[in-house]
């Protein structure tokens, strides 16, 4: 039996475990990346582990999230991260150099290698054939120290593409179509491989758009073959020497095969407030638009930006629309300026923002009250934009520009002849904004620079065999990490200050939760299906840890968040009978009995309201040891 692309990479990086679906495997990690919203905590964790130098082939610390410096907090975090990178052997991508996933694809990604990043959209690098996965910051810290990255061996899905995208239809529409087919939880426990004759019509930036949004499916990662198109992209980046061909075997076996004919796709939108709430531009035409945002790690490549510029050239956006354009990297911005496309964008009335995540994480450019905002981003969770009652739609660059020009949701196919763009044969190479680390000898005497907003990792305690706690919060299905620990310009500067950050925990759902949890001292949260979907931010586990949360009981969990809970020493448990969810109410007194024995058996008893409930858990021996120790940091330091 042949192997899929992902299975080949896993086999070459397997440290322990068997490649059987559902079994825990340990992987050797070649590269890591962090961004500043998660990076400060990751490097505090790396310091706590006590290893003097990173042991990966390459680790990069990016500054791309908290670039709004309205106080000292973000600047202090950037200074801290830069000093850590210099001392411990990481490359440091300075503010303004670009979004981590865009820059990594351009300058550092290598086909066939493994990459984990403390950002859930790390699978973007699957567009050049990397096995790239989002992870919690503590997992990244352990990998930087040479430790293995543990995952459950995923199932393998194959998406066969046929045909060719028609004019005005783009890779973003492919992403939205697979979300329509699978939903935001349809990829959980799976790696999605893209193949078929249709992939030969897609450039690397288009492939990266598709693998980027595989995260919204809940997939472990997504991956394309490394082929001639990959080679051409790497050569254009001056990195042709890292190219290796990589494809699945003809007799590879998949758990599910999905067929998509590119020729049949039409412009699509994801409606508020979920990436899988899909409708066509035809259906939604005529809805008044207040704001349009173009950029993010999904759609900020040079290809995307040249397309935007060509559509805007010689035109003005509608008077009622505010349009922002955020190039994905300094390389993209510089090349736009050199060829004159930047002038076309500016002349249209658009506002050009810096090369950063910006509006995607609520870092500025929030919509007006109840505003309709069309965004070429990957998430439209309620309140994520910074405006609680905003109506955010996810769209392609083509739909975004068409709608900005008319002031209403507009199918770009109504604009007339399609505008073809030509990509350059070579990209402009300037890595001057990537600061190299000091030598090992020089690093010994270098200080680490900390600001007053940087607080230590929360105190953890060994797990107890019996847990008595209040049910302090009960929430529904598809709770995201944005619900648990919101982003945005007002909150993100405190990502390195867990005590202060805790005030905002679950504020989207219940503004009283944080105070009630602190008063309760020990508490349990109950959730529905797909609990913890979205971002990989470990703060969605670390803040509940600080607030005394001992367990989360849900119908099902998103992969990264379940791992982050275990890393924090919090028990993720699922209802054996999902109907038992209805029997529990906020403020109930809960008892988890014989926890240690239950973890071994895979079933823990919950007592509440004079009744007993059976809760399922499926922990490996390693995970049980982590939980008993009080989390991955305590476990790692104790090894």
Measure the CA–CA gap between 295 and 300, rounded to whole angstroms.
4
Q: Model confidence over 31-89: pLDDT tens digits? A: 999 999 999 999 999 999 999 999 999 999 999 998 888 889 999 999 999 999 999 99
Distances from the Cα of 312 to the Cαs of 306, 401, 528, in angstroms?
10, 7, 44
Q: Is the pLDDT of residue 638 over 80?
A: no
Four-residue CA torsion sign, 334, 66, 55, 149: negative
Going by pLDDT thresholds of 50, 70 and 90, the confidence category of residue 467 is: very high
Bridge partner residues of 471 (DSSP)? 524
**Residue in the structure block whose two tokens are 């393998």:** 156
Considering only 65-69, 247-251, 342-346, 442-446, which range has the smallest mean pLDDT?
65-69
Q: Is 210 left (phi over 0), alpha (psi -120 to 50) or beta?
A: alpha
Going by pLDDT thresholds of 50, 70 and 90, the confidence category of residue 461 is: confident
The pLDDT score that the predictor gives to residue 639 is: 61
The domains of the chain are located at 5-264, 268-413, 467-638
Measure the CA–CA gap between 308 and 301, rounded to whole angstroms.
11
Measure the CA–CA gap between 8 and 362, rounded to whole angstroms.
38
DSSP for 518-569, please give it: HHHSSEEEE--TTBTBS---THHHHHHHHTTEEEEEES-B-HHHHHHHHHTT
Per-residue pLDDT, averaged over 567-577, amounts to: 96
Measure the CA–CA gap between 613 and 403, rounded to whole angstroms.
52
What topology does CATH give the domain 268-413? Aconitase; domain 3 (3.30.499)
Q: Model confidence over 289-299: pLDDT tens digits? A: 999 999 999 99
Measure the CA–CA gap between 365 and 445, rounded to whole angstroms.
42
Per-residue pLDDT, averaged over 394-401, amounts to: 98
Q: Model confidence over 305-317: pLDDT tens digits? A: 999 999 999 999 9
Distances from the Cα of 22 to the Cαs of 7, 125, 154, 211, 273, in angstroms?
14, 24, 7, 23, 31
The pLDDT score that the predictor gives to residue 151 is: 96
Measure the CA–CA gap between 546 and 500, rounded to whole angstroms.
10
Strands annotated E in 176-225 = 190-195, 221-223
Strands annotated E in 56-200 = 58-62, 91-93, 114-117, 131-134, 149-152, 155-162, 190-195
* Tokens (6 digits) for 596: 């240690």
Bridge partner residues of 226 (DSSP)? 246
Rounded to the nearest integer, the mean pLDDT of the chain is 96
Main-chain phi, psi angles of 374, to 5 degrees = -100, 125
Q: Model confidence over 579-593: pLDDT tens digits? A: 999 999 999 999 999
Measure the CA–CA gap between 292 and 323, rounded to whole angstroms.
5
According to CATH, the superfamily of the domain at 5-264 is Aconitase, domain 3 (3.30.499.10)
According to CATH, the superfamily of the domain at 467-638 is Aconitase, domain 4 (3.20.19.10)
Per-residue pLDDT, averaged over 352-381, amounts to: 94
Main-chain phi, psi angles of 221, to 5 degrees = -170, 175
Going by pLDDT thresholds of 50, 70 and 90, the confidence category of residue 459 is: confident
* Tokens (6 digits) for 82: 């830069």
**Residue in the structure block whose two tokens are 């300058």:** 107
pTM here? Answer: 0.94
Q: What's the first-to-final CA gap in the chain, in angstroms?
A: 38
Q: Model confidence over 100-135: pLDDT tens digits? A: 999 999 999 999 999 999 999 999 999 999 999 999
């Amino acid at each position: 039996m042949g192997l899929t692309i992902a299975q080949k990479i896993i086999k070459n990086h397997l440290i322990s475990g068997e490649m059987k679906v559902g079994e825990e495997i340990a992987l050797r990690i070649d590269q890591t990346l962090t961004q500043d919203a998660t990076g400060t905590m990751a490097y505090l964790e790396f310091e706590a582990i006590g290893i003097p130098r990173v042991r990966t082939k390459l680790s990069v610390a990016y500054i791309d999230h908290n670039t709004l410096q309205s106080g000292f907090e973000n600047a202090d975090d950037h200074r801290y991260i830069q000093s850590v990178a210099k001392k411990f052997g990481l490359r440091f991508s300075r503010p303004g150099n670009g979004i981590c996933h865009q820059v990594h694809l351009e300058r550092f990604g290598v086909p066939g290698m493994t990459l984990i990043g403390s950002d859930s959209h790390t699978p973007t690098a699957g567009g050049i054939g990397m096995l790239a996965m989002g992870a919690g910051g503590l997992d990244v810290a352990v990998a930087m120290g040479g430790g293995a990255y543990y995952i459950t061996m995923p199932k393998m899905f194959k998406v066969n593409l046929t045909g060719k995208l028609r004019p005005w239809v783009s890779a973003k529409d492919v992403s939205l179509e697979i979300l329509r087919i699978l939903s935001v939880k349809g990829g959980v426990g799976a790696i999605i491989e893209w193949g078929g004759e249709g992939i030969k019509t897609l450039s690397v930036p288009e492939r990266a758009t598709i693998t980027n949004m595989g995260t919204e499916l809940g997939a472990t990662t997504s991956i394309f073959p490394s082929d001639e198109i990959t080679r051409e992209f790497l050569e254009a980046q001056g990195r042709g020497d890292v190219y290796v061909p990589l494809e699945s075997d003809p007799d590879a076996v998949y758990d599910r095969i999905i067929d998509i004919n590119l020729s049949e796709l039409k412009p699509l939108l994801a409606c508020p407030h979920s990436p899988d709430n899909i409708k066509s531009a035809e259906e939604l035409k005529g809805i008044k638009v207040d704001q349009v945002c173009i950029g993010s790690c999904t759609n900020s490549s040079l290809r995307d930006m040249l397309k935007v510029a060509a559509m805007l050239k010689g035109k003005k956006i509608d008077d009622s629309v505010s349009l922002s354009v955020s190039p994905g990297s300094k390389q993209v911005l510089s090349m736009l300026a050199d060829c004159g496309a930047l002038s076309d964008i500016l002349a249209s009335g658009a506002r050009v923002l810096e090369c950063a995540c910006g509006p995607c994480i609520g870092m500025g450019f929030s919509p007006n009250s109840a505003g309709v905002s069309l965004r070429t981003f990957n998430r439209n969770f309620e309140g994520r934009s910074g405006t609680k009652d905003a109506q955010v739609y996810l769209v392609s660059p083509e739909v975004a520009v068409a709608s900005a020009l008319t002031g209403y949701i507009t199918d770009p196919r109504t604009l007339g002849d399609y505008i073809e763009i030509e990509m350059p044969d070579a990209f402009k190479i300037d890595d001057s904004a990537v600061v190299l680390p000091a030598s090992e000898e020089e690093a010994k005497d270098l200080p680490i620079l900390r600001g007053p907003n940087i607080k230590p990792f929360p105190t953890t305690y060994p797990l107890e065999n019996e847990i008595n706690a209040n049910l302090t919060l009960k929430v529904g299905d598809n709770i995201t990490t944005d619900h648990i620990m919101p982003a945005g310009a007002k909150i993100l500067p405190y990502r390195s200050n867990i005590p202060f950050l805790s005030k905002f925990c679950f504020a989207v759902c219940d503004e009283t939760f944080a105070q009630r949890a602190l008063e309760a001292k020990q508490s349990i949260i109950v959730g529905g299906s797909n609990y913890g979907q979205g971002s990989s931010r470990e703060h969605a586990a670390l803040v509940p840890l600080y607030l005394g949360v001992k367990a989360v009981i849900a119908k099902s969990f998103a992969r990264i968040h379940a791992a982050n809970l275990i890393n924090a020493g919090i028990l993720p448990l699922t209802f054996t009978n999902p109907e038992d969810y209805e029997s529990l109410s906020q403020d109930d007194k809960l008892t988890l009995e014989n926890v240690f024995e239950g973890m071994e058996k895979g079933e823990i008893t919950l007592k509440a309201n004079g009744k007993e409930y059976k809760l399922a858990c499926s922990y490996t021996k390693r995970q049980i040891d982590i939980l008993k120790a009080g989390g991955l940091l305590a476990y790692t330091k104790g090894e």
